[in-house]
Chains A and B, each alone.
Chain A
């Protein structure tokens, strides 16, 4: 069957994650490039995008992106695969994060924390979030569609209030409490076995803390993505799809709706819990308000921009949503430079950018400026709201849909069908 990649002669061949040899090679090469990306190696350092993503400044953002990927994969299982609209993803992430700080954080007179190592708190945060998901499921299974979306929205607000009821876990102030550092210990010994939160020697080479964290998160993300892709092609995944397409029909065909919806909530919450714990640990200190509605919306935006229901869609969407604010800031900086040094397009940019009082531009340079002209941070949010709208209007399948169109165009070239 050489040269006919779409001709399947067995079910096993059809169900493969990477059916063609080219894809297998690409995945292996891609993972090798990703692993070596941050280490300033001669060849890899020349690949266009990889070159600057591997920089130390960007690497922090890339780490954040990897965590977001894990959470987005979780929501993809619930919303993309099982078709259950959830605005409560931030709530499950929060439950994971606070489990992590309870199990792994340092206790004091008015703060609870057991100081256990990472190999306990990381799985625990996922498990507790999954249990919360199972606890919520009976109510969530009864309602459907937009009612479910708004009911899960209620969870976010109830979660915010719970953080106020338990200041022993969430910390007293508006700043929130400190999460455990990313360190691997066997038990509560003084020196960690592997310290992801400090620069320094590692085996036989020097590595900064961002590089070490990056490798850990990359490993976790790859595992999460492979598991998510595998869930989709098991009996469970097919049951999820059946429920998404029509829940009554699925039940008539012998797919127990309640059990599988509960399972979808549990799996998605597990992902969310792990991602929430990692996100809080990476930030170090997180106020309760950051587990709010905006975070939930962000994940819906990720799914819609990337392409809902596909693992690759979740990956693309996260890349786009998490990195685009930074790109925008870079572009604005670049535009400002052009204005200052009188580049070719200086006149155009001068209209857009406001450098001082009385300038007619719509973008402000300084981060602290409020009001009109808009500060860069407001512009980020504006652009990302705009992205949601534009993608839904013009490309409902997201970036993945664009990729499919491009691929099909070249497949059929020079014919248009």
Chain B
């Protein structure tokens, strides 16, 4: 969590403001990642372990589209930041297409198989995609060309990175988007599929198409969260790197804490985990000797385990009715 935006302020209040915004930003990032997991789980009852690998693939696509090919800047004029967002959208769409291919080849044939088998298939996919993507980002550092870079502004005496604001805004847009999506016809169909696949089929819902849409949207969210988690305070200076693939695993506690099948849970879980991690990092720093260097990265898992002990299906997850 170090970077150009270390706290320079002296007063306790400034530190607090800075910590809160930092937590909000990290929490939004986790929530964004968690939303991708939840969407795919809701429709297909599968935890997509390949989410992190898809995120890395998405950042790699963005780097190629924006930096290497200079799309859309080579055709149209206009401000650079607008180009970047268009490129981000294109990268997300490319990842969505990739997700569609995966769904068609590896997930669709598994409908009706045990949930565990499906989850392990995504683990296998994760190994494959990550290997290729690692190889791709290893040769040369893949710069993403983030418009706001490492710039900061001040609130009172606290330095705030623009990336924080961007991450919070992006998460807000994504959650509102998904909330609106659930109100549409397709969204209702997806909720019905999540509730009971056979009943949905009987109602004339094309369950296969719902699966495809869920994977496409999930992959898009993965790409976007992958790009935002590669930005300066979290990732290494706005470059696609190997860490991108593992960042998604750090969001799993948020998914579990909130409940695997709840979008609200993803938001609450993400924010809770974000706050726990940053606040522990900020206010327990004096005990690093006992807790060990980098202890804040383990905080999410500890919070998750405690949460599971209290509520085995997460805060907002649907409890499985156990029948004989």
Interface on A for B, CB 8 Å cutoff? Answer: 85, 139, 142-147, 149-151, 153-155, 157-158, 161-162, 164-165, 246-249, 252, 293-294, 297, 300-301, 304, 370-372, 374-375, 378, 381-382, 384-389, 392-393, 396
Could you tell me the distance in whole angstroms from the C-beta of A268 to the nearest C-beta in chain B?
Answer: 16
13 contacts between A and B (CB under 8 A): A139-B308, A145-B115, A146-B260, A153-B252, A158-B301, A164-B294, A249-B324, A294-B127, A370-B139, A382-B127, A385-B125, A386-B124, A392-B124
Report A-chain residues with C-beta under 8 Å of the C-beta of B323: 248
Interface residues on B, range: 35 or more
Residue among A151, A161, A304, A378 making CB contact with B292, cutoff 8 Å: A161
CB within 8 Å of A: which B106-124 residues: 106, 109-110, 113, 115-117, 119-121, 123-124
Q: How distant is the Cα of A5 from the Cα of B324 in the complex, in angstroms?
A: 36
Residue among A139, A147, A161, A297 making CB contact with B294, cutoff 8 Å: A161
Report B-chain residues with C-beta under 8 Å of the C-beta of A249: 324
Could you tell me the distance in whole angstroms from the C-beta of A87 to the nearest C-beta in chain B?
Answer: 8
Report A-chain residues with C-beta under 8 Å of the C-beta of B313: 147
Could you tell me the distance in whole angstroms from the C-beta of A107 to the nearest C-beta in chain B?
Answer: 21
Residue among B110, B119, B249, B305 making CB contact with A151, cutoff 8 Å: B305
Q: How distant is the Cα of A259 from the Cα of B288 in the complex, in angstroms?
A: 38
Q: How distant is the Cα of A247 from the Cα of B322 in the complex, in angstroms?
A: 9
Could you tell me the distance in whole angstroms from the C-beta of B305 to the nearest C-beta in chain A?
Answer: 6
Verify A393–B106 contact, CB threshold 8 A: yes
Verify A85–B113 contact, CB threshold 8 A: no
Report B-chain residues with C-beta under 8 Å of the C-beta of A301: 124
Knowing A158-B301, A393-B106, A393-B109, say if A143 contacts B135 (CB, 8 Å): no
Verify B297–A150 contact, CB threshold 8 A: no
Verify B302–A158 contact, CB threshold 8 A: yes
Verify B136–A372 contact, CB threshold 8 A: yes
Residue among B47, B253, B295 making CB contact with A154, cutoff 8 Å: B253
Chain A interface secondary structure, helix, strand, loop or mixed? Answer: helix
Could you tell me the distance in whole angstroms from the C-beta of A357 to the nearest C-beta in chain B?
Answer: 13
Q: How distant is the Cα of A52 from the Cα of B276 in the complex, in angstroms?
A: 55
Additional 13 contacts, C-beta under 8 A, given A371-B135, A371-B136: A143-B312, A149-B116, A157-B301, A158-B298, A158-B301, A161-B294, A162-B292, A300-B120, A301-B124, A304-B117, A375-B135, A386-B124, A392-B121
The answer to the question of B202 belonging to the interface, with a C-beta cut-off of 8 Å to chain A, is no
Q: How distant is the Cα of A364 from the Cα of B123 in the complex, in angstroms?
A: 25
Verify B117–A396 contact, CB threshold 8 A: yes
Report A-chain residues with C-beta under 8 Å of the C-beta of B308: 139, 142-143, 147, 151
Residue among B121, B136, B260 making CB contact with A147, cutoff 8 Å: B260
Report A-chain residues with C-beta under 8 Å of the C-beta of B121: 388-389, 392-393
Q: How distant is the Cα of A59 from the Cα of B138 in the complex, in angstroms?
A: 34
Could you tell me the distance in whole angstroms from the C-beta of A57 to the nearest C-beta in chain B?
Answer: 26
